[in-house]
Structure 1
Amino acid sequence: MIRVLLFVPLLLPLNACAATQSSDGPSLAKRAVEGRFDVAPPAVVVAPPGPLPTDLAGRLERWEADGAAGQQAFAAQRTAAASLVAAAAGAPVAGERWVVAQQAISRLIAARAPLTAALADIDRLYLDRSVDEQIDGLPDIYALRDRLADLVSTQDAVIEALSAGLPGG
């Protein structure tokens, strides 16, 4: 008998909810005024970027030349660094061969400095022009930035592989 009394209060609120679900409430059908805003927004015409401004063309050429110089210097140091790292494969950490290999990796990193500096400068230019909404020449700037970033990424992978080849690396 006690069980029946516990469930009775739960049924009463449900009956009250069901009683309010009558058909005299507002209709949920679409009203005529609701369709007024079903129109496409007007097209916004954005002018495409113009050509690279002449004051930037010289800077981009210099950065491209710096990137090429950094790549050539890196390539010239790479073979020597790889052979020194291979020679230090069994050497103890902080031993002479290990130190010589670390120095070769450091020279390899230093050799690419013109490339990384050019990438930093072109990143700064790209961001400044984007913030100032000066879009003329951005495709040219971004294309050079993309090429330099690819070179740096490839060099990073080489340096990481060489560092991993050293004991303790």
Structure 2
Amino acid sequence: MKHSLLSVLLALPLSACAAGASGDAPSLAKRPVEGRFDVAPPPVAVPPPGPLPADLAGRLARWKADAAAGERAFAAEHSAAATRVAAAAGAPVASERWIVAQQAISRLVAARAPVSAALADIDRLYVERSVAEAVDGLPAIHALRERLAGLVSAQDAAIAALAAELPGA
């Protein structure tokens, strides 16, 4: 009894599908009215960004100068830090040579502060101008931002490389 009831229940959905396959079902072919809106949208004219506004030119110049000064300070500290890290090679953790090398790396991190600060400032400016849809000067802002980001990335890699040479770092 259970078997026959189960087979009847399973056959009901199949009979509904067979009934839908009759010849009086609507066609799924595309109707003429459906193609009326297949047209390309009109082109939107977007004016190119203009020059950097005068009030921002001074800020960008200051950030460039800060980054250059930070780059010079980093280079000077990097050679000193590399010398101290090389001297600490093989020294036990927390020995005097190891501590001197760690301090040199800390000074190296501090020397890159002007570049990091300039990058943070220009990131903030870029986001503010993008949100406000003020596109004038964005190419110049973006170019300086990319340059500063590259400097910070290179400095991060240099610091990481020196830190990796110290035991326990």
Moved over 6 A (4+): none
Distance change >3 Å, CA 112–CA 13, structure 1 → 2:
closer
Report 1:136-155 matches (<5 A). 136-155=136-155
Q: 2: distance between equivalents of 1:68 and 1:35?
A: 60
Kindly state the Cα deviation for residue 114 of structure 1 after the two structures are TM-superposed: 1.3
- Output one character per residue of 1:106-137: Cα deviation in whole Å (capped at 9) or x when no partner: 11111111111111111111111111111100
Paired position in structure 2 for 1:8: 7
Paired residue type of 2:138 = L
TM-score, normalization: structure 2? 0.92
**Cα displacement (A) at 1:19:** 2.7
Residue 74 (structure 1) aligned with residue 85 (structure 2):
no
- One-letter identity of the residue aligned with 1:150: G
* SS of residue matched to 2:36: helix
- CA shift, 1:5, in A, is 3.2
Distance 1:126 1:4, change over 3 A: closer
**Inter-partner Cα distance in structure 2 for 1:104 and 1:71:** 16
Q: How many residues are paired up?
A: 168
Match of 1:116 in 2: 116
Identity percentage over the alignment? 71
- The amino acid of 1:127's aligned partner reads V
| 1:102 partner amino acid | Q
- After the TM superposition, which residues 1-169 of structure 1 pair with which residues of structure 2 at under 5 Å, given as runs? 5=4, 8-9=7-8, 10-169=10-169
* 1:6 to partner: Cα distance: 6.6
- Deviation larger for 30-39 or 155-164: 30-39
Gaps of 5+ in 2: none
